[in-house]
A and B are shown apart, each in its own frame.
Chain A
Amino acid sequence: MLRRRNLLTTLLIALPWALLLTLWHQYPTTHYLSLLRNENVTSKALLNGTSALREEVFPSCTRQQQSIGATPKIIQNYVYSRPPPWSDTLPTIFVITPTYTRPVQKAELTRLANTFLHVQNLHWVVVEDSPRRTNLVSNLLEKAGLNFTHLNVETPKSLKLGLSWIPSHTPRGTLQRNLGLHWLRDSFSNTAPPEGVVYFADDDNTYSLELFEEMRYTRRVSVWPVAFVGGLRYESPKVSPAGKVVGWKTVFDPNRPFAIDMAGFAISIKLILEKPHASFKLEGVKGGYQETSLLKDLVTMDGLEPKAANCTKVLVWHTRTERPTLVNEGKRGFTDPRVEV
């Protein structure tokens, strides 16, 4: 009897373990574990091979046909025609982007262009920090299909060095942005100003499509929060219940006249043309005061228009791209320098 019991016990032990091992072997660990956790429906679906389940979890194409979405139709029109056709009634968004040659430049401008190609009535003013307009940028702009203006002005080395002792990084792009403003003032007359806004967009930031629609109808200067600036998740204007800007939610020097990042405001063309002497100050600008140096000549705090749901939504992120390691290029270079990167 003892022997039979031993046999039974052995069987009762061996059988379930064998089953478990087979399951374990077939599927990666966490599939199995997540089954126990009741989270991953897909794994369960995979374990159960019945076609009925498959219908439910992976609805067939025919079934989904019936439901029709309303909003995406607009998106679909934008998706496959780039850029959207120019409209005579929509205010134009002039985006001024200073850029400079470095390995990631083409990548940055490419993904920026991919974003701008969705925005109607956008005119991209690209200003290179270089003695001549480079082929890389010229070709990129021509291929992209956007409305663009290609300018260049080189920051003199003395200026780059002179300002670099300031704790914050060298205020790069100042000359270039000013040239962009200068071009606008040259191209449009103050007597018949076009409807539109100016926005300063650095080439490594990330912009949502919603942002452009928020800024389009700026009357004077509009403002909104910006992510990843000032050592915070985001910096934001302080907006009173009456919808007026009353201060700045920042840790770094919140008492600046305009404690806001370059990507956090847009100015109406009319205002730019009305005040032809307003530009970014080149020298003697403390770190973080660049934006103030322009805005103080254009508007006062209570003239600001808060956007992005009274400055409660983040629609632009001050992302920065890592410098790529090119250590394996060595002294002589490994890759073909004629291949454009």
Chain B
Amino acid sequence: MGNEELWAQSVLEMPKRRDILAIVLIVLPWTLLITVWHQSTIAPLLAVHKDDGGDSQRDLAAGLDSKEYCLSDRDIVEVVRTDRPVQKAELTRLANTLLHVPNLHWILVEDSQRRTPLITRLLRDTGLNYTHLNVETPRNYKLRGDMRDPRIPRGTMQRNLALRWLRETFNRNNSQPGIVYFADDDNTYSLELFEEMRSTRKVSVWPVAFVGGLRYESPKVNAAGKVYGWKTVFDPHRPFAIDMAGFAVNLRLILQRSQAYFKLRGVKGGYQESSLLRELVTLNDLEPKAANCTKILVWHTRTEKPVLVNEGKKGFTDPNVEI
């Protein structure tokens, strides 16, 4: 044997390795594709429904036009972080507020793998019109334990899923009026706020308390009633220096600009709202509400994490009791 034969041997082996590589490159994608196609055609035939309750529960008052209750004049997109002890409390008091708002449709999107029974039950018991969705923000296993990927701002995928649901549910051409508002479950909302946003033609804005390290942040409104800037300390030159709770969008606009979503990655802190709004509207088109942005109708409250130190390692309270 000599160098020549070794070389010949290696040349013979190369095609084998290349063959294997080729086979893998072929089999892998086709398998994936077939699995996906399989799931998408078989699964819908199963009786697994997305939970879209509320409409069936609403009793029709005598004399009501039967079409009316399908007219959601309002869609509130609620993003829920699952597995927090205070979750049920937050949703309970939020529901207590939402129950006062006529023509409201609550879209609750869980950040979870599955829709949790706790939330399903809670939604059903309120009697509200609702849609219950879920999508899980991918976890970043490099960080300890349960941390979600910090590069994706919290709630983004869930809000985007809700936008997608709206676009799939409502026909772009149908004239059904509606407003979309993003409501986090720990904020506090006055009832007046919901009436203010109802008249939104494109995008309306108003002040929000306890954001940006201030008592409140607010749009700057000139004498002509136009928004021309932002009264904030933190980065007032953002295209839309406004909190998620500080604006509402007309449903028609959401449907028309069907590609407008919150950007998933590469979004600087505080720019989330801009990532959506810049695709929908310009500064000039914004409609100031709340008495030309002089009244506070929504507060960015945050709930403390409860101290559970006395549960100890094994747990003291009965885990079957839902809190």
Contact = CB atoms under 8 A, between A and B. Distances in A.
Contact of B99 (A75, A312, A334): A75
A236 B317 CA distance: 9
A34 B26 contact: no
A39 B114 contact: yes
Contact of B44 (A45, A67, A104): A45
Contacts of A30: 135-138, 157
B136 A48 contact: no
A42 to B, nearest CB: 5
B194 to A, nearest CB: 11
A40 B100 contact: no
B264 A28 contact: yes
A23 B312 CA distance: 47
A231 B308 contact: yes
B317 A341 contact: no
Contacts of A332: none
Interface stretch (B5-13, B56-64, B247-255, B272-280): B56-64
Interface string A295-328: 0000000000000000011100111111011111
The 4 A-B pairs with the shortest beta carbon distances in the complex, nearest first, are: A231-B310, A16-B29, A61-B70, A328-B213
Given A20-B29, A46-B164, A335 B93 contact: no
A71 B54 CA distance: 12
A321 B89 CA distance: 12
B30 A16 contact: yes
B218 to A, nearest CB: 8
Interface of A: 9, 12-13, 16-17, 19-20, 23, 28-48, 53-54, 56-59, 61, 64-65, 67-73, 75-76, 78-80, 82, 103-104, 106-108, 110-111, 114-115, 117-118, 206-209, 225, 227-228, 230-234, 236, 249, 251-252, 312-314, 317-322, 324-329, 334-335, 339-341
A326 B311 contact: no
B39 A69 contact: no
A3 B111 CA distance: 51
Given A108-B188, A118-B96, A328-B214, 14 more contacts: A16-B32, A17-B29, A30-B157, A42-B161, A78-B99, A103-B210, A106-B296, A110-B188, A206-B93, A227-B323, A233-B308, A324-B300, A334-B214, A339-B207
Interface residues of B, number: 96
Contact of B307 (A44, A79, A231, A339): A231
B56 A69 contact: yes
A46 B127 CA distance: 27
B53 to A, nearest CB: 9
Given A13-B22, A67-B56, A314-B321, A339 B294 contact: yes
A217 B89 CA distance: 24
